[in-house]
Structure 1
């Protein structure tokens, strides 16, 4: 009888469905693992499904309990359990539908990871507090590329220049867009970049590989930039109402080239707000 009861209890636990939880604080940090890197910060009253899976992490000699939440379909993150409260199921349903719609764009863009393009390790990194509200578009002002192998080689060359000549800690951009339509992970989603002067800590930057001062950007690059931006919104990296700028809007430069700049000026999130450093 005791064994039978135990089996039933385990079966119920293992088959437990997710409940709905909402954040009760502002800027709640969501981590890759309980003791790992911060991926994003979450506003107050944002709701997520959770199976109430919890783990303890020792921080500053104190044990803190973290709870797993389904941040977006296929992406589980960890939040301080004290920052969550049980909420009605309908609140999570609305959130889930929103994320599922936005997350479709992530499947529309292939990201080539740092290990895949054989990046050098960074000298150091600073966590980016997300979501940020600004996206800057750049161009590399160099050679174009049309395959993963040639674009990977271009990305390595740019990283070498940024680290060896500029003496930066890593390649400057968050992502680079190749002529093959792929996104090459630079500093990635969660690290402060070195790309736009005084705005590095409150923005991310995508750089199109090529010189678009002298030629028009191919549609495959334009589509990839737009899909990557939508993916950034779905991951909570960019706010949904983010402002889009060209590098030249903040600094004295021709970047991202007159042809690429002319295109992004017609995109919905483009902003004419003065942001000069």
Structure 2
């Protein structure tokens, strides 16, 4: 597993207020009560969910805080950096200096947290202790233990003993990482995902070993795309005019004229194909040119 840094998910506000000393004495579990993204790639809805929490945090507590929790974890088990680990957030009143907060993205008063989330929290607790961020690899409890609130929701609160039990496993134990595959995750997210910028563009991609589908996702509005397959290799010669590589075409082009928001296009990879040229047209979202990018990744 890994922690997705603020610059990668597109943080726009502050990373906490006051500098504090580490290790922290406490770690508390929260939930965001915002809409939870799904558990399948592309991960554009996960990134947008984190940016939504940051916008809400900036409105409630001021821009200096931005994302108010130390970490956020989506149902897919993706871990996002929130405020700076050595700064105060705006999550647990009276405990922001000595404590840190892990927030499950979603409403866990009504929904059950996923096993991927529980594994991710356990991994983060072990990792944080190893890094010297907090004293023990365990949750001290939920937000509701400190104030009159339902947070982190009854289902997440009931899962705290299970999380703490998993956190006692050796580092590297627990469930499957969302970036390395496994029984519940068939995607190599970290290695294969590429952002698709707004506008009309073209990009060449090699196909990783074991990939069975190409996945093109649109986070907002709609986009169109064309895939031009080739194989059996990537020759060293290039067309003198276009500079594209010379290669053998192995299948009919795949074309999708309307890829809708959060409904990714999953394209089976033809036999013998070893790469493809991807052309896409993603009209910029008015007023949000830098906020949204498409994604291309692979299913394994």
Question: Which residue among 35, 42, 47 is the counterpart of 1:152?
Answer: 47
Q: Quick check: 2:118–2:163 contact (8 Å CA) kept in 1?
A: no
Classify the secondary structure of the residue corresponding to 1:161.
helix
Q: Quick check: 1:212–1:259 contact (8 Å CA) kept in 2?
A: yes
Partner of 1:61: none
Q: Deviations over 1:167-202 (max 9, x none)?
A: 352211000001221111110322211100000000
Q: Spell out the pairing of 1:159-198 with structure 2 (5 A cutoff).
A: 159-167=54-62, 169-170=64-65, 171-198=67-94
State how far apart, in whole Å, the 2-side matches of 1:222 and 1:229 are: 11
- State the number of aligned residues: 162
Q: Deviations over 1:115-169 (max 9, x none)?
A: 1110013186321211112110001112111343111101111111111244352
State how far apart, in whole Å, the 2-side matches of 1:258 and 1:240 are: 24
Question: Which residue among 32, 44, 48 is the counterpart of 1:140?
Answer: 32
Partner of 2:129: 233
Q: Which runs of 5+ in 2 are unaligned?
A: 166-300
Q: Quick check: 1:141–1:209 contact (8 Å CA) kept in 2?
A: yes
- The verdict on how the C-alpha distance between 1:236 and 1:158 changes in structure 2, with shifts beyond 3 A counting, is same
State how far apart, in whole Å, the 2-side matches of 1:123 and 1:223 are: 25
Q: Deviations over 1:86-143 (max 9, x none)?
A: xxxxxxxxxxxxxxxxxxxxxxx22111111100131863212111121100011121
Q: Quick check: 2:15–2:84 contact (8 Å CA) kept in 1?
A: no
**Given the alignment of the two structures, is residue 212 of structure 1 paired with residue 108 of structure 2, yes or no?**
yes
State how far apart, in whole Å, the 2-side matches of 1:164 and 1:268 are: 33
**Given the alignment of the two structures, is residue 258 of structure 1 paired with residue 154 of structure 2, yes or no?**
yes
Q: Quick check: 2:15–2:83 contact (8 Å CA) kept in 1?
A: no
Answer 1 or 2: which has greater helix percent: 1
State how far apart, in whole Å, the 1-side matches of 2:9 and 2:19 are: 22
State how far apart, in whole Å, the 1-side matches of 2:83 and 2:48 are: 17
Q: Quick check: 2:125–2:137 contact (8 Å CA) kept in 1?
A: no
Partner of 1:119: 11
CA RMSD of aligned residues (A): 2.1
Q: Quick check: 1:110–1:183 contact (8 Å CA) kept in 2?
A: yes
How far 1:251 sits from its partner (Å)? 1.4
Q: Quick check: 2:73–2:80 contact (8 Å CA) kept in 1?
A: yes
Classify the secondary structure of the residue corresponding to 2:55.
helix
Classify the secondary structure of the residue corresponding to 2:45.
helix
Classify the secondary structure of the residue corresponding to 2:135.
strand
TM-score, normalising length from structure 2? Answer: 0.51
